[in-house]
Amino acid sequence: MTATPARRAAWKKSLTAAQHTELRGVLAAELRRLASGPPSRHAESTSPDALDGLEPRLRRRGLQLLDALRRIDAGTFGICTGCRSPISYVRLSVIPETTLCVRCSSARELPARA
């Protein structure tokens, strides 16, 4: 699924080109580390099969990283899947694979705590 022009505009306002490049690098480096394969020029080309030998928790994380790299390519990275607003750079720098803004993440966690 590709982003609409409005979503791309919102995303571009929320992240600078340098921040975008930095986050892509962080995601790719973490994926390479998890896959434990030789470094490649395009870590995002790592297939889910490269993660097969990992314990379930690490495989799940690897799949989240792959998904985030795909969202970067599709232009939907940094857009909350809950409310469609931009996710802050601060949040993305801590959890680059996140798909939710702080507000939506908190709202989903609160019912689970009750």
**Confidence band, pLDDT 50/70/90 cuts, at residue 108:** confident
For residue 44, pLDDT beyond 60: no
More confident residue, 112 or 90: 90
pTM, 2 dp = 0.74
Q: What is the pLDDT of residue 48?
A: 77
Domain 5-113 has CATH 3.40.50.1950: no
Q: What is the pLDDT of residue 109?
A: 82
Q: Is the dihedral of CA 64, 8, 20, 91 positive or negative?
A: negative
**How much is the mean pLDDT over the chain?**
81
For residue 111, pLDDT beyond 80: no
CA angle 85, 87, 93 (to 5 degrees): 170
In the chain, where the domains are located: 5-113
CA distance 54 to 92: 25
